[in-house]
Amino acid sequence: MRGRVARGAVAVGSAGLLVLGIAGCQQQEGSGSENGTAASDLKIVEQVQIDQDGKEVPPPEAGDAADPAGDGNAECPPVAIAMAGALNGPDAALGINIKNGIQLAIDKHNAANPGCQVQLKTFDTEGDPQKASQVAPRIVDDASIIGLIGPAFSGETNATGDVFNQAGLVAVTASATNVTLSEKGWRTFFRGLGNDGVQGPAVANYIKNTLGHQKVCVVDDSTDYGVGLAQAVRETLGPVADQSCNSSVKKGDKDFSVAVNQVKSADADSVFFSGYYAEAAPFVQQLRDAGFEGVFFSADGTKDPEFVKQAGSASRDALLSCPCGPATGDFAEEYTTKFGQEPGTYSSEGYDLATILLKGIDSGAVTRPQLLEYVRDYDGQGIARRYQWSPTGELTSSLIWIYKVQ
């Protein structure tokens, strides 16, 4: 019966899929949700990879991923790579995931190449476009910085892209997914994962075709990221996106009673929340406390252990989409050993993008123009995917992963 899709009954993927926990979480007290499983036992687990039609696609056979250590014979002058993103604030976990991935790659490179020591310089934007605009001039005015990984979020990328473009500084983002970013005419912008024009239709088709939901409430957080993704989801869902509960909240909101009441009144099969984990956690708690039994769906801005930690048992069975690939193998082991926690969302992308810049530096691309051209012509396998870019800075191919809190 519509609107009564039991959370525990959602089946995603098949028995042959890898089931690897992305991160452990701690139980948060005070959640009014069901407690059949302690929140500390919940993990974000990859389920299935899908295409834009929402259909399951077997993961491709990965080739040998590029190694940031190279051959150990690199020689270079003192140069630096910058990272810009939220390292403090409500969404800091996402930026820290990227920074740690970058740091792992640089440390491996520097340990293997005594003749080429590359410095990582981090710039905290707190995910705020205004603060990012203040940070951007400091990055471009530092002559030692020849490449940037970031900014991390779409709003801050939109606010600073012109600055980096005018400076000729290659800016590869591990996480900014708003479609319009590649439509600005920036020659220095490269996106290290699929955009929301890929993710939105894939998720929407998965919800209505694979899961068979007939009524979906789409709620966005009014940010550049949230609005852009929600628009793509709503357009693809068509009439399945119920107008009575299509709504927007604000970044920083804690009281979601209006949206919760709309969802309850609509008797929806599922809710798709387009935003970040800082709002997704209290939103799903309030939905469950109000008795909503449908599926809670969100995307890459929510796919972080902090969502599970903050939402507690209310996060159980949430489905999360992401253009980010799962972290496996030696990379996952090395990351966990170094940082005392498993890789999070965008850790793989941070590592891969740093590796690409390091390979460029090792090849002799030690100025901003040289490194920009190296990235523009790059084609190679990484931990998360194969990296090759179109003239507008989009990956030439990308797929979406579905994850589940279980």
Is residue 94 domain-shared with residue 176, that is, in the same domain? yes
Q: Given 292, 322, 352, which residue is the final one in a domain?
A: 322
3-state secondary structure (DSSP) of residue 56:
strand
Is residue 51 domain-shared with residue 84, that is, in the same domain? no
Predicted confidence at residue 353, as pLDDT, reads: 98
3-state secondary structure 274-337: ECCHHHHHHHHHHHHHCCCCCEEEECCCCCCHHHHHHHHHHHCCCEEEECCCCCCHHHHHHHHH
User: Would residue 70 count as lying in a domain?
Assistant: no
Which residues contact residue 17 at a Cβ distance below 8 angstroms, ignoring those fewer than 6 apart?
A: 46, 47, 48
Predicted confidence at residue 8, as pLDDT, reads: 34
Is residue 100 domain-shared with residue 165, that is, in the same domain? yes
Q: Given 322, 351, 379, which residue is the final one in a domain?
A: 322
pLDDT tens series, the chain, 406 aa: 333 333 333 333 333 333 333 333 333 333 333 433 456 789 999 999 999 899 998 876 656 889 999 999 999 999 999 999 999 998 899 999 999 999 999 999 999 999 999 999 999 999 999 999 999 999 999 999 999 999 999 999 999 999 999 999 999 999 999 999 999 999 999 999 999 889 999 999 999 999 999 999 999 999 999 999 999 999 999 999 999 999 999 999 999 999 999 999 999 999 999 999 999 999 999 999 999 999 999 999 999 889 999 999 999 999 999 998 888 788 999 999 999 998 988 999 999 999 999 999 999 999 999 999 999 999 999 988 899 999 999 999 888 999 999 9
User: Would residue 145 count as lying in a domain?
Assistant: yes
Is residue 52 domain-shared with residue 201, that is, in the same domain? yes
Name residue, tokens 């550049």. 224
Q: Is the pTM of this model over 0.85?
A: no
Predicted confidence at residue 17, as pLDDT, reads: 32
User: Would residue 237 count as lying in a domain?
Assistant: yes
Euclidean distance between CA atoms 307 and 328, whole angstroms: 21
Predicted confidence at residue 22, as pLDDT, reads: 31
Determine contact, residues 135/125, Cβ cutoff 8 Å. Answer: yes
Predicted confidence at residue 388, as pLDDT, reads: 97
Is residue 260 domain-shared with residue 311, that is, in the same domain? yes
Predicted confidence at residue 64, as pLDDT, reads: 83
Predicted confidence at residue 23, as pLDDT, reads: 32
User: Would residue 67 count as lying in a domain?
Assistant: no
Predicted confidence at residue 91, as pLDDT, reads: 87
Q: Given 270, 294, 322, which residue is the final one in a domain?
A: 322
Predicted confidence at residue 19, as pLDDT, reads: 31
Phi, psi of 280 (to 5 degrees): -60, -35
Residue by residue, DSSP assigns 220-260 as E-SSHHHHHHHHHHHHHHGGGB-GGG-EE--TT----HHHH
CATH number (domain holding residue 30):
3.40.50.2300
Is residue 279 domain-shared with residue 229, that is, in the same domain? yes
User: Would residue 74 count as lying in a domain?
Assistant: no
Q: How much is the CA Rg of the chain, to the nearest whole Å?
A: 21
Euclidean distance between CA atoms 318 and 299, whole angstroms: 10
Is residue 160 domain-shared with residue 201, that is, in the same domain? no
List the domain range (segments joined by +) for residue 383: 79-195+327-399
Which residues contact residue 370 at a Cβ distance below 8 angstroms, ignoring those fewer than 6 apart?
A: 360, 364
